[in-house]
């Protein structure tokens, strides 16, 4: 079974490639390396002792997608490729709409032409906006609070319309909560460009001495310690969620939607404490104003994925912190020069 992984050199994509190869799938990666390095794929090969095919190609270039489908008989696609920085999407929305939506439309058109109609799409908990209650179930109302989130919502809607037009499509919308952690080998992990936007890479860069302190965005939320609460999920658990989704996709389920989260919410201060314990380092922090657009709390009800996919997140907060630290201390500059 041959799987095309768009965005496979990125953070979640590279971890998913490891698990795909471990399960003996043939893997073809398409990535333009706009937010990643080919080094991650060399390391995927080291970890697994298996090879994959890599195309440095852009979803905005339809000819490059066509080349991949002409050269391989693809059975299904896991579509990670996209831009994901929320703040940047507010400043340059057109770039986000063009890259994420046009890129997806090009991919779907080529898949349609080659009669490859099985796709797993990386959606996000951001499509729930500011939820009215917790935990979040798949049928909760959807909304977008920024252009990045709108691209996820629009792509979900495009995929719904596509499925309604042609029931031969099998589409899994996977709504990820907050991924963190790294492969236990410490060979692959999250390697953000510039100053991290997300909490975990920021904390680990403080721990390694690249940044002076964490700014905690608000301690006056209606949460137990006043700081934001999120459903942090280990990236390997998330990758395994894709492995459990593929067999489901090949049973012709039509369009299916799953939350991939742990069902547990941790606060920003709990994450900082967890990281201090794992790294044996003091993490200096200061409380600053809330970050515009942030919600107080968000965690998943992951029951549907457990019942229908037989998937559940198994790793703990301690695992997430330990594995992030292992990656960060072995790779203080991430993938280094090659990015």
The residues that touch ligand NAD, with contacts defined as CB under 6 A, are 7, 9-13, 31-36, 58-60, 80-84, 99, 103, 122, 124, 176, 179
Burial pattern 152-190, b for ≥16 Cβ within 10 A else e, equals bbbbbeebeebbeeeeebbbbbbbbbbbbbbbeebbbbb
x-marked contacts with ligand WQD along 110-149 as a string, rule CB under 6 A: --------------x-x-----------------------
Q: Are 161 and 167 in contact (CB under 8 A)?
A: no
Interface with ligand WQD: number of residues (CB under 6 A): 18
Task: Tell the smallest beta-carbon distance from residue 91 to ligand NAD (Å).
Answer: 17
- Residue 10 binds ligand WQD (CB under 6 A): no
Choose among ligand WQD, ligand NAD, none what residue 327 binds, the Cβ cut-off being 5 to 8 Å by kind: none
Give the three-state DSSP class for 121: strand
Q: Please say which residue, 160 or 198, places its beta carbon nearer to ligand WQD.
A: 198
Catalytic residue among 11, 55, 148, 335: 148
3-state secondary structure of 103: helix
Yes or no: say if 170 and 116 are a contact pair by the CB < 8 Å rule.
no
Which of ligand NAD, ligand WQD, none binds 228 (CB below 5-8 Å, type-dependent)?
A: ligand WQD
Select 57 or 216, whichever has its Cβ closest to ligand WQD: 216
**Least distance between ligand WQD and beta carbon 30 (Å):** 20
25 binds, among ligand WQD, ligand NAD, none (CB under 5 to 8 A by kind): none
Beta bridge partners of 175: 123, 259
Establish if 246 lies at the interface with ligand WQD (CB under 6 A).
no
| Alpha carbon distances (Å) from 68 to 29, 57, 227, 335 | 9, 9, 46, 26
Query: How many other C-beta atoms can be found within 10 angstroms of the C-beta atom of residue 219?
Result: 16
Q: Is 89 in the site for ligand WQD (CB under 6 A)?
A: no
Rule CB under 6 A: is residue 294 a binding residue for ligand WQD?
yes
> How far is 94 from 147, CA to CA, in rounded Å?
9
36 binds, among ligand NAD, ligand WQD, none (CB under 5 to 8 A by kind): ligand NAD
Dist. CA 196–CA 198, nearest whole Å: 6
Return the residue of 197, 219, 223, 303 that touches ligand WQD, per CB under 6 A. 197
* Annotation says 148 is catalytic: yes
In contact, 169 and 115? CB cutoff 8 Å: no
Looking at the DSSP assignment, which residues form a beta bridge with residue 124?
176
Number of Cβ within 10 Å of residue 233's Cβ equals: 28
Smallest Cα–Cα separation from 78: which of 143, 41, 39, 29?
29
Taking each helix axis from N to C end, the angle separating 103-113 and 62-71, rounded to the nearest 10 degrees, works out to 40
Output the smallest distance, CB 323 to ligand NAD, in A.
15
Considering only 151, 178, 204, 279, the residue that binds ligand WQD (CB under 6 A) is 178
80 lies in the binding site for ligand WQD (CB under 6 A): no
By CB under 6 A, tell whether 99 contacts ligand WQD: no
Tell me how far, at minimum, the Cβ of 303 lies from ligand NAD, in Å.
20
Catalytic residues: 148
The residues of the shown chain that bind ligand WQD, judged by CB under 6 A, are: 84, 86, 124, 126, 178, 197-199, 202, 214-217, 228, 230, 268, 291, 294
């Amino acid at each position: 079974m041959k799987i095309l992984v768009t965005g496979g050199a990125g953070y979640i994509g590279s971890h998913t490639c490891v698990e795909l190869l471990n399960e003996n799938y043939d893997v073809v990666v398409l990535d333009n390396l706009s937010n990643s390095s080919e080094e991650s794929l060399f390391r995927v090969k080291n970890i697994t002792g298996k090879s994959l095919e890599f195309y440095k190609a852009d979803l905005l270039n339809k000819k490059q997608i066509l080349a991949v489908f002409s050269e391989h008989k693809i059975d299904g696609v896991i579509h990670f490729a996209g831009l994901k920085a929320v703040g940047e999407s507010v400043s340059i929305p057109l770039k986000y709409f063009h890259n994420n939506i046009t890129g997806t439309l090009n991919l779907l058109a080529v898949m349609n032409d080659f009669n490859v109609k099985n796709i797993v799409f990386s959606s996000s908990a951001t499509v729930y906006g500011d939820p009215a209650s917790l935990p979040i179930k798949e049928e909760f109302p959807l909304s977008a609070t920024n252009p990045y989130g709108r691209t996820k919502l629009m792509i979900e809607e495009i995929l719904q319309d596509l499925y309604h037009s042609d029931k031969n499509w099998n589409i899994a919308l996977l709504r990820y909560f907050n991924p963190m952690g790294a492969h236990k080998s410490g060979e692959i992990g999250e390697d953000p460009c510039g100053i991290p936007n997300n909490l975990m890479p920021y904390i680990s860069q403080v721990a390694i001495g690249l940044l002076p302190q964490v700014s905690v965005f608000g301690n006056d939320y209606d949460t137990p310690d006043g700081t934001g609460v999120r459903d942090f999920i280990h990236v390997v658990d998330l990758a395994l969620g894709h492995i459990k989704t593929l067999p489901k996709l090949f049973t012709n389920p039509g369009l299916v939607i799953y939350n991939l989260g742990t069902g547990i919410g941790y606060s920003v201060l709990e994450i900082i404490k967890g990281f201090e314990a794992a790294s044996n380092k003091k993490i200096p922090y200061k409380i600053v104003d809330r970050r515009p657009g942030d919600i107080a709390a968000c965690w998943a009800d992951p029951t549907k994925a457990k019942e229908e996919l037989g998937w559940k997140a198994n790793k703990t907060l301690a695992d997430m912190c330990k594995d992030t630290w292992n990656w960060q201390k072995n790779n203080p500059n991430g993938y280094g020069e090659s990015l």
